[in-house]
Structure 1
Amino acid sequence: MSTEPPLYLRVAGELRARIENGEFPPGARLPSGAEISRQYGGSSNSVASGAYKVLVDEGLVISRHGAGHYVRSQDTPELLIRQHRRRSEDSPFGRGVAEQGAAGTWRHESTTEKASEQVAARLGIPASAAVMHTSYVYLADEAPVQLAESWEPLALTGESLIVLPEVGPYAGVGVAARMRVLGIDVGEAVERVRARTATRAEAQALGMVPPGPVMAIERTYYDQASGRPVETADVVMRGDRWVSVYGQAPAVGPRP
């Protein structure tokens, strides 16, 4: 009778060791089920899911729905930096938070609805035109730090694979990457930023008791070729957790 532990426990042990020795630093994405199957054999679903369940239960790993498993940060940064870049990465929130040593996850809910007059004006569509409305709660190491309400015209995305921002082959990759599927270059978002006090509902969703300051951002992405708005969103960020950075210092090499 074999005394070797089940394969999923051996995989969990090897991944644990690689995390503890720093091969996978905080925020790093861990191997997919297919990668684990190729390396260890067995069913990618049973072996990988069993191994990751062990590591999640131990608090070493965070599971991000639809995007894999990431090393949990044991020391979430007090302040998170929102870096503005010329082109958005495919996963701007997840990657940006991971680079700072935290695991970024989010909850979402998408529904079709009729555009309000305000949303219609921002998207340049008739009032009551159909839009996809997605609500987000973003978390850093499972603590809520950001909210967003996003709207996209269904006349643009309704017959495509990107109609649902968080479902399908292009789920969770960000607006810029999703719009590239339609051949649209959105360039840099136009943002209006102001500071205000969180509403009671926002404070509750963000865990701010009592309500404190937030950065409220009205963001719109445009098709660079036609000038047509393709997505607009209201983003609310905890003012005590975020610093917004614009521009980039030039890279200067060593002096001779």
Structure 2
Amino acid sequence: MPFGEQPAYLRVAGDLRKKIAEGALPPHARLPSQARIREEYGVSDTVALEARKVLMAEGLVEGRSGSGTYVRELPAPRRIVRTGYRSGDSSPFRQEQADESAKGTWESASEQEECSPEIAERLRIEPGERLMRTRYLFRVDGEPTMLSTSWEPLAVTGRTPVLLPEEGPLGGRGVVERMAAIDVVVDNVVEEVGARPGKAEETVALGGVPGHSVLVVARTYFAGGRPVETADVVVAADRYRISYHLPVK
């Protein structure tokens, strides 16, 4: 195939994608059948099927059992604004919301566990060391929007008043203030943003379709070069954009 020339199924998918974007195939409209695609574009059944699969993988259409394939109504992406640490008594989860008028709530659950090799590398500790793991489900106006899992070494927080991130006198105040209460001064935070296919339990919890992509913010707080907390923040990639506002010094 000459350079720059697309396979037939991608050309068909591209034309259908354009029709969706321009409104010729609006939300909830039925996608042309495989036979119709074959006739309209002069392609084989295999090409027509592969083109439909591309649009489904991109999340533009969805199949309905016994009915056909329909154009999905895509939500307008919202922003998660990242501006660094802000002092105050609001939760960092609340701070991560772009819409200040949103009514944010969350559920959380903490439990101790042994550190996995992956998290041990991020926290610069040995695999098997004890951690406090806290899972969150964040909602805005009742709708699930964000998942987060954090890990804190018990070597740092064990036997202290801040052992549980969401309980005690500083529950919900965020890593920086909680650590300061036990004389651990957080002075740096590193965030790495990536995308991957969502795990089934993640996309279901977020109200999406299993297999669709998610954005993951892997965040680690440091105190004097020592990691004291690391977390994965997960959002649906088709619903959010992460916007960084960074000061210029």
Return the TM-score normalized by structure 1.
0.61
Which structure 1 residue ranges, 5 or more long, are not aligned?
1-76, 251-256
1:213 Cα shift? 2.4
**Distance 1:87-1:204 versus aligned 2 partners, 3 A rule:** same
1:232 is matched with which residue: 230, 233, 236?
Answer: 230
Correspondence for 1:104 = 104
Post-superposition Cα deviations, 1:204-228, rounded to whole Å, max 9, x if no partner, equal 11110354321112211100xx211
CA contact (8 A) 1:88 1:176 kept: no
Q: Secondary structure at the match of 1:196?
A: strand
What's the CA shift string for 1:167-214, capped at 9, x where partnerless? 111111111221121222323421111122212111111110354321
Contact 1:107 1:138 in 2 (8 A): yes
The whole-number CA distance in structure 2 between the counterparts of 1:115 and 1:249 is: 35
**Is 1:219 the equivalent of 2:219?**
yes
Report the Cα distance in structure 1 between the residues aligned to 2:240 and 2:183, rounded to whole angstroms: 33
1:140 lines up with 2:159 in the alignment: no
> 3-state DSSP class of the match of 1:178?
helix
Q: Is the 8 A contact 1:95 1:104 kept in 2?
A: no
* 1:161–1:169 Cα contact (<8 Å) kept: yes
Contact 1:80/1:242, CA 8 A, preserved across alignment: yes
CA distance in 1 between counterparts of 2:247 and 2:159 reads 42
Structure 2 spans left out of the alignment, 5+ residues: 1-74
Is 1:247 the equivalent of 2:245? yes
Aligned length: 172
CA distance 1:209–1:185, change in 2 (3 Å): same
2:97 aligns to what SS in structure 1? helix
Deviations 1:130-186 (A, max 9, x none): 110111111111111111111100011012111000111111111122112122232
Question: Using the alignment, how far apart are the partners of 1:96 and 1:154 within structure 2?
Answer: 26
Q: Quick one: structure 1 residues 229 and 213, their matched pair in 2 at CA, closer, same or farther if it must change by over 3 Å?
A: same
Q: Are 1:82 and 2:84 counterparts? A: no
Superposition pairs for residues 172-211 of structure 1, below 5 Å? 172-209=172-209, 211=211
Taking structure 2 as the reference length, what is the TM-score of the superposition? Answer: 0.63
Q: Distance in 2 between matches of 1:243 and 1:98?
A: 10
Residue identity matched to 2:231: A
Residues in 1 aligned to 2:130 and 2:77: alpha-carbon distance in whole angstroms: 38
1:108 and 1:145 map into 2 onto residues whose CA distance is: 14
User: Displacement of 1:78 after TM fit?
Assistant: 4.8
Give 2:165's aligned residue. 165
Amino acid at match of 1:82: I
Q: Deviations over 1:25-61 (max 9, x none)?
A: xxxxxxxxxxxxxxxxxxxxxxxxxxxxxxxxxxxxx
| Cα distance between partner residues in 1 of 2:210 and 2:154 | 38
Alignment partner of 1:97: what SS? coil
| Equivalent residues of 2:106, 2:138 under 8 A apart | yes
Percent sequence identity over aligned pairs: 40
Bigger CA radius of gyration:
2
2 CA distance for matches of 1:83 and 1:190?
Answer: 15
- Residues 191 and 217 of structure 1 are in contact (CA less than 8 Å); yes or no, is this contact kept in structure 2? yes
